A and B are shown apart, each in its own frame.
Chain A
């Protein structure tokens, strides 16, 4: 019986499992540490065959990635063994009905986090999104990066501003708005050119 599941796993790794069987198998594997371990073993065998002596991920790497994802999602505490998606609000489990809440356009993002720290709690509560992080106070000496909410604010300005820039300027402004970690440097107000 277990053999049958493990054989399915082997086929899944090769992309040879019928799509209809994938769903159930994935759910089973998500709940079973031993199945995951065996899957990892099959993967390792293949890697070793192809590149003997090559660098491989250490034991527990996949678990560390899973933990890092948990942290990045803001889920704290033990995760239920049953990975049914009712646990914490996962990003893709929000109801499909869009909430067209804000009364303004790109600048709503700007105004969600204002430099005075008024972080638009009203919006946060209505949409169920986590409250915006508190704004850091100035001056901050070199290298401290902005909170996600602050970078969203700057991105909002850049999107609006970019419309009015020359084509090259717009491309730069919007590319910066798109960047995940735009490398925004908080400049010391005392010495603005020091970077």
Chain B
């Protein structure tokens, strides 16, 4: 049979170098513990079974990441929240199709990137230029957004939040401070932190909780 031999000997194409496929941004350094993916999957399952509250938690968990991501891509960062909101609504409506083949955030990330892209393209009101490589034009778009920066209010608020959190962390006892930094910045699991700090997992869990409570006490008046 003509060609049959060469067909079976066909090699796989190497994966693209990633420039056209969305990937995690560099500053999103927190590597989620394996359990976090599992916990997200639990929440998604609940959403799929009709527990809307579970989706609220996913929104709470990823709202900053998505807003930040979208703001980087849009010409006007002031509309980042509108577009981010649209992305979450899309994700909710499509939740039935999420199967857990990838992490939930990876799936959500793609939806957000696409929503932002479509928003940008629909503003320009002309067909995409296929002579330019798609990834190139997106990259330069990202760069010019960053030069424009955020709205003044957003910048002021995030500065103050940063200061407050910093001060609260600084005031923490050393063991609480270490625990939360290992978790949030280094992305270690409770097990790994327990090993690093030479204490039981239950203690790790308690320390992280108490650190968060202390930060919350400082943040709460700021955001009320």
Contact = CB atoms under 8 A, between A and B. Distances in A.
A57 B206 contact: no
A58 B157 contact: yes
- Interface bin, chain A: 35 or more
Nearest to B87: A65
A16 B53 contact: no
Contacts of B71: 55
B54 A69 contact: no
Nearest to B38: A15
A41 B160 CA distance: 14
B208 A14 contact: yes
A116 to B, nearest CB: 29
B84 A57 contact: yes
Nearest to B165: A48
Interface string A60-77: 011011101100100000
Interface stretch (A24-32, A102-110, A120-128, A155-163): A24-32
A65 B67 contact: no
Given A41-B212, A48-B165, A68-B89, A57 B39 contact: no
Contacts, number: 205
Given A7-B205, A46-B184, A65-B85, A56 B67 contact: yes
A50 B165 contact: no
Contact of A62 (B56, B65, B216): B56
The binding surface of chain B is classed by DSSP as helix
Contacts of A31: 53
Interface of B: 27-30, 32-40, 42-43, 46, 48-57, 59-61, 63-68, 71, 77, 80-81, 84-86, 88-90, 92-93, 96, 118, 122, 150, 154-155, 157-159, 161-162, 165-166, 169, 180-181, 183-185, 189-190, 205-206, 208-209, 212-213, 215-216, 219-220, 223
Given A16-B189, A51-B27, A69-B88, 9 more contacts: A11-B209, A15-B39, A16-B190, A19-B38, A26-B43, A45-B165, A49-B169, A49-B181, A54-B27
Interface of A: 6-7, 10-17, 19, 22-23, 26-27, 29-31, 36, 38-59, 61-62, 64-66, 68-69, 72, 83, 85, 90-93, 180-181, 183
